[in-house]
Chains A and B, each alone.
Chain A
């Protein structure tokens, strides 16, 4: 588990010593009622379709994952400390789109977006701001009002 004392020595030392870049502000919108939520997933695992351009190690852009292709993503994340066997056995271990669809079918949320996304999480989030704001506009145009962010 990710308790810093449980990681291998180098990874634990890195994370203990690493300060997350400060992102100013504390926005907090009022979410729509559950039945009206149209939900998209965003992963930081550097997921992409095999035919898409590779993520570079410091990429700040994103890749589009159409809902019907989520089972076919590959991972570009640069870390050698992350377990990949969970993802290799079951993509929902890191990108739970099947679970989200089940929640929609059960009426726990309104609907699932047609498009989902991935960034390369090893990058500085401040450098992602233009792409994040641009992506927000694209998601809103699809009717998305709720986002679940999935780390790796």
Chain B
């Protein structure tokens, strides 16, 4: 974003940016930048807290009133602490659904487990969509069951095809992975309780069959001779700390 700011400014537009990684702003030196101490993925701090978000936005826009630049200013306000793990009972986080963690040895057992999770989460997902009036699931264009079946077929090696016309397999695998996670996380965040942050991530990767499916698929993609599939397996499917 810092480089983009320079091009826009060079074209006569005044820019201000929010920076999550201070080192990048230090290196590129955009005209005006506000560094914020929030997690990657949360540049305006706190979901559902309009006042907090406004304070960040207002601080970034205040840099436009400075007499000269470049400017790199640190935003002092910390975000509230959220649960770091599903075991962090003090943070008040409650797992929305506890799935039985059984070995999925037989062919099709893992897919069956994922489909069961999808069905179990459906009421919470629907609650979330109704409350928010939106969903972030939809990049793949597939329903959750179809995503799971497609990812499973690739993980089991029974297909090398896409199931959406015009979308290459690597792109569809990535989109289905993100959509499936969006489905789980939107369902999980629809339940009563505080914002959970990293605890939700840990819950998904440690306790769901969907994560096991992605873990099974990751080396299949990584070892594929197709560079696009290799890249998906390399850094787009499973965070390194949650791989086998």
The interface of chain A, by Cβ under 8 A from chain B, is 1-4, 7-11, 15-16, 19-23, 25-32, 34, 37, 39, 42, 44, 50, 54, 56-57, 71-76, 78-94, 96, 98-100, 102-103, 108-109, 119, 121, 125-126, 128-129, 132-133, 135-137, 139-140, 144-152
Contact A151/B136 with A54-B175, A96-B44 known, Cβ cut-off 8 Å: no
Shortest Cβ gap from A48 to chain B (Å): 8
Shortest Cβ gap from B211 to chain A (Å): 12
A132 touches B4 (CB 8 A): yes
Residue in chain B with minimal CB distance to A50:
B138
Shortest Cβ gap from A114 to chain B (Å): 16
A87 touches B4 (CB 8 A): no
B13 touches A152 (CB 8 A): no
Q: How far is the CA of A34 from the CA of B65 in the complex (A)?
A: 8
- Cβ contacts B1-20/A at 8 Å (1 or 0 each): 11111111111111111111
B53 touches A2 (CB 8 A): no
Neighbour of B238 across the interface among A11, A80, A96, A121, CB < 8 A: A80
Contact A57/B236 with A2-B37, A28-B69, A146-B64 known, Cβ cut-off 8 Å: yes
26 inter-chain pairs at a CB distance below 8 angstroms, sorted by A residue, are: A1-B38, A9-B240, A9-B241, A20-B24, A20-B28, A27-B10, A34-B64, A57-B236, A79-B235, A84-B41, A85-B197, A88-B182, A93-B53, A99-B54, A102-B50, A108-B58, A125-B2, A129-B7, A132-B7, A136-B7, A145-B13, A147-B8, A148-B57, A149-B17, A151-B43, A152-B41
A75 touches B39 (CB 8 A): no
Q: How far is the CA of A54 from the CA of B235 in the complex (A)?
A: 18
Residue in chain B with minimal CB distance to A136:
B11
B139 touches A133 (CB 8 A): no
Query: Which of under 10, 10 to 19, 20 to 34, or 35 or more describes the interface residues of B?
Result: 35 or more
Neighbour of B3 across the interface among A11, A56, A126, A140, CB < 8 A: A126
B16 touches A98 (CB 8 A): no
B116 within 8 A of A: no
List B contacts of A4 (CB < 8 A). Answer: 21, 23
Q: How far is the CA of A80 from the CA of B132 in the complex (A)?
A: 24
A145 touches B40 (CB 8 A): no
A83 touches B171 (CB 8 A): no
Shortest Cβ gap from B58 to chain A (Å): 7
B3 touches A1 (CB 8 A): no
- Cβ contacts B25-42/A at 8 Å (1 or 0 each): 001111110000111111
- Cβ contacts B105-120/A at 8 Å (1 or 0 each): 0000000000000000
A sample of 18 more A-B contacts (CB under 8 A), given A83-B40, A140-B11, is A1-B38, A3-B37, A4-B21, A11-B240, A25-B10, A29-B14, A34-B61, A54-B167, A72-B134, A74-B138, A74-B139, A78-B174, A85-B195, A92-B44, A96-B44, A128-B4, A144-B13, A148-B15
Q: How far is the CA of A27 from the CA of B13 in the complex (A)?
A: 10
A1 touches B37 (CB 8 A): yes
Contact A85/B178 with A94-B43, A125-B4, A151-B20 known, Cβ cut-off 8 Å: no
List A contacts of B28 (CB < 8 A). Answer: 20-23, 125
List A contacts of B1 (CB < 8 A). Answer: 42, 44, 121, 125, 149-151
List A contacts of B3 (CB < 8 A). Answer: 20-21, 23, 125-126, 128
